[in-house]
Amino acid sequence: MADDKQIIGAGRFTRLVSVAGWEYVERTNASGIVIIIAVTPEGRLLMVEQLRPPVGARVVELPAGLAGDLADAADEPLAEAARRELVEETGWDAAHMTRVAHGPLSAGLTSEVVTVFRADGLTRVGEGGGDESEDIVVHEVPFGEVPAFLRAREAAGALVDPKVYAALWFAGPGGGGSAA
């Protein structure tokens, strides 16, 4: 199947390819994608919100990012990338990262596979908000109030990434188990 792969177009971070007539997007310059489910010691789910140009709206999401995208860390382990992204985006660090899920993000559109981690042993180490290229708003919402918060953000015009709802399963009582 890979023998008939054709590159249709390429940018800085992605390329459009065709295999047996199926067109999809591949991410370049990264070894993985991580998503982090984190609940503070006070029982608040950490979420981030930022403008996402592909959908033309602000999106409420879980903290997430790329692994292996830094020149000095091309072989960065996924758990380390998750911890780095959690600190960068939310200002919280985790003592432990537990892999809870792994799978395709949008199997009909992209080859991306994400790894979801549950962060435990959180401590505040900074303000968060992302790096200089990002405009991230951090939301710390009491766990039981997350559904109402999400409805309110949608009413205000934001979109909600459905993975936030999956986080309610993995972060809830019993932790949703581990699918990894």
Q: What is the pLDDT of residues 67-78, one digit of tens each?
A: 877 667 768 899
Render pLDDT for 136-166 as a digit per residue (tens, 0 to 9).
Answer: 999 999 999 999 999 999 999 999 999 999 8
31-173 fold:
Nucleoside Triphosphate Pyrophosphohydrolase (3.90.79)
Answer for the pair 92, 124: CB distance below 8 angstroms, yes or no.
Answer: yes
Answer for the pair 129, 89: CB distance below 8 angstroms, yes or no.
Answer: yes
pLDDT (average), residues 96-121? 94
**Which residue ranges make up each domain of the chain?**
1-30, 31-173
| Coil, strand or helix at 160 | strand
| List 85, 89, 132, 154, catalytic entry | 132
Which DSSP helix (H) or strand (E) runs through 162? Answer: none
Distance of CA 49 to the CA centre of its chain: 11
For residue 69, give the DSSP letter.
-
154 is catalytic: no
Q: Which two tokens stand for residue 18?
A: 């065709």
Render pLDDT for 34-68 as a digit per residue (tens, 0 to 9).
Answer: 999 999 999 999 999 999 999 999 999 999 998 87
| pLDDT on residue 31 | 82
Contacts of 149 (CB under 8 A, 6+ apart): 139, 141
**How would you list the strands of the sheet with 14-19, edge to edge?**
6-10, 14-19, 22-27
119 vs 177: which has the higher pLDDT: 119
| Cα angle 43, 34, 23; round to 5 | 135
Cβ of 17: how many Cβ atoms within 10 Å?
A: 18
Rounded to whole angstroms, the Cα distance separating 73 from 108 reads: 30
pTM: 0.88
| pLDDT on residue 128 | 86
| pLDDT on residue 178 | 45
Q: Is the pLDDT of residue 174 over 90?
A: no
Q: Is the pLDDT of residue 8 over 60?
A: yes
Rounded to whole angstroms, the Cα distance separating 47 from 77 reads: 23
pLDDT (average), residues 67-90? 86
